[in-house]
Amino acid sequence: MTEPRLNALGQPIGPPVAGAFPVPMPPRDTMTGRYVALEPADPEAHAADLFAAYRDDREGRGWTYMPYGPFDEESAFAAWMAETCLGPDPMFFAARVDGQAVGLASYLRIAPQPATIEVGHIHLAPALKGTRAATEAMALMMDRAFGLGYRRYEWKCDALNAASRAAALRLGFAFEGIHRQVTHYKGRNRDTAWFSILDGEWPGVKAGFDAWLDDGNFDASGRQTRSLAACREAARG
């Protein structure tokens, strides 16, 4: 273990931090990958597609851990988007695949001075879940944040949301613990599970994404040859 630095008083202090702060706010413009485009959320452009795509979730499981929804009418969903999805924080993006909007995600709790940022409000329609496009969407958002100089990229979810916790670990986040009674929604308590990726970890995480998303990692049926975790471990050496 590396010995901590000491100040003139003999007290341990953290390692030095280089860079110019505050870092920039993320731009509200499109992020384009091979399989998905993340467009600034726009009710006129995206509400109809998203409402239809979310309706494929017949039981409404995707809404259970959201503090809003489900929506029974497209007009109500579009109104929610107009009220919630057009500001700078949270900064929402719609995932478009093959011409259709099939999911939402946002940056939030954007803090340029300490250079921390969170990804959240992730709601993928059934058509997007488990696809290369879904993984690439998360990689694109991480890449933009770290490219702007953010030092810490966070993922938080209801501690009871097993699917979200598993997704965070698959994507390369480190579990940091549970904060109790952080908030409440839909008449129930929420303990929050915290995850993060740090800037020093990002090159290895990014190399794992690049290897996993490569066409050579998928067979003729579209099945992965190596898992994302395996690609990440191989990239780290």
**What does the pLDDT look like over 41-97, one tens digit per residue?**
999 999 999 999 999 999 999 999 999 999 999 999 999 999 999 999 999 999 999
Please give the Cα distance from 196 to 161 (Å, whole number).
17
Q: Is the pTM of this model over 0.75?
A: yes
Q: Which residues pair with 108 in a beta bridge?
A: 118
pLDDT by residue (tens digit) across 127-138?
Answer: 999 999 999 999
